[in-house]
Amino acid sequence: MDDDLTTPPDQPLDDAARARLRGRVLAGLAEPAASGSGRRWAAPAAAAAAVVVLAGATGWATLAPGAEDVAPADRGTSSPEVLPTPTPADDVAVPDPSDGSDRPDDPTGQGGVTPHEGPAVEPTPSGAGPAGGPAVACRRDLDDVLPGAVPALTLGGTLGATSFLVGGDRFVLCDTAGGTVTLHGAQPLDGRHAPDDTTPWRVSTNAVDPQDGTGGLDLVLVAGGIVPPRAEGWGISYTFPDGHVEEATTGTDAEGRTWWRMEHVATDGVLVARGTDQTTLEPILVDVRVAGTSTEHELRWGEDTCAQVNHGC
């Protein structure tokens, strides 16, 4: 027996072997990749052929609407439905990322994550939210925005619900309109901010399938926050380029804190018209009223209309 364990030298492949290998590689490349079930995010700026592009402050995002069917519902803004707030036992643990990647830098302290495909939530016309409650559905990305935040109040909306979650001296707004979980950046719980800061009034923008079943997209714009303590005669309204004026609604949590939420669902008009370039539209006007005085803020399209931090707009 030959005990020589020396590895034999490399042998060149003959032409026939090369041809066989090449055929296997090409055959593998020709197989279609399995299509994923994740949804892509959408926010129409020029909604041609149901593909929409919105100009942001730092770049462009090309996104498409989800495939869920959303049933129409009566819309009320004067007295929003306050939904049950889940107890800690009803909550779910926030997964700890284990891919070894660093968290994104957050120099502003508002929280932010790299856009990714968020959880698909079954849309409901009554605002009841997904299974387990809308606040529970919001937990998935909280570790990247405000770790350890707990639900304080949930208000029913037209196509979903809006929840406010508190952690320490900050809070986060989470909305499930159209079946998409959308988190805003963390804000101070005392409601204090610079007079010229538009951050507290910024809106998130999500495109959803049309309520009437026709072509094109509907647009859902949501804003919200906490009413400063001892604010008398407080109120806020949004005036959109399509002429619609939406007054914010309020609700009070178990701790006695008052929260406000604004939701505008655009189903027709310039905001959802084919060929509309949102960057050319008039700004959204926000009128904040406190103790008989009024302050107006302008929200610029792209810069102030993409408040979401857990997915694109």
Q: What is the pLDDT of residue 212?
A: 67
Nearest to 156 by CA among 126, 123, 119: 126
Contact call for residues 260 and 224 (beta carbons, < 8 A)? yes
In a domain, 311, yes or no: no
**pLDDT interval class at 236 (50, 70, 90):** very high
Residue 87: other Cβ atoms inside 10 A: 9
In a domain, 5, yes or no: no
Contact call for residues 208 and 218 (beta carbons, < 8 A)? yes
Higher-pLDDT residue of 233, 107: 233
241-278 pLDDT per residue, tens: 999 999 999 999 999 999 999 999 999 999 999 888 99
Answering whether pTM is above 0.85, one says: no
| Separation of CA 97 from chain center | 20
In a domain, 206, yes or no: yes
Domain tally, the chain: 1
Q: What is the pLDDT of residue 16?
A: 59
Q: Domain containing 65: what range?
A: 41-87+108-299
Enclosing H/E stretch for 30: helix 15-30
- In angstroms, the first-to-last Cα distance of the chain is 71
9-42 pLDDT per residue, tens: 555 556 655 556 455 544 443 444 343 333 334 4
State mean pLDDT over 151-174. Answer: 95
In a domain, 147, yes or no: yes
User: What is the C-alpha separation between 138 and 141, in angstroms, rounded?
Assistant: 7
Q: Where are the beta strands (DSSP E) in the chain?
A: 52-55, 60-63, 82-83, 150-156, 161-167, 170-175, 182-183, 187-188, 204-208, 218-226, 235-239, 245-247, 249-252, 258-266, 284-290, 293-299
In a domain, 60, yes or no: yes
In a domain, 143, yes or no: yes
In a domain, 150, yes or no: yes
Residue 108 scores a pLDDT above 80: no
**Structural Rg of the chain based on CA atoms:** 24
Both tokens assigned to 281? 């539209």
State mean pLDDT over 151-167. Answer: 94
Three-state DSSP at 95 gives: coil
Q: What is the pLDDT of residue 57?
A: 33
In a domain, 9, yes or no: no
What is the torsional sign of CA 193, 199, 204, 205? positive
Both tokens assigned to 223? 């804003």
- Which region, left, alpha or beta, applies to residue 115 given φ > 0 means left and ψ of -120 to 50 means alpha? beta
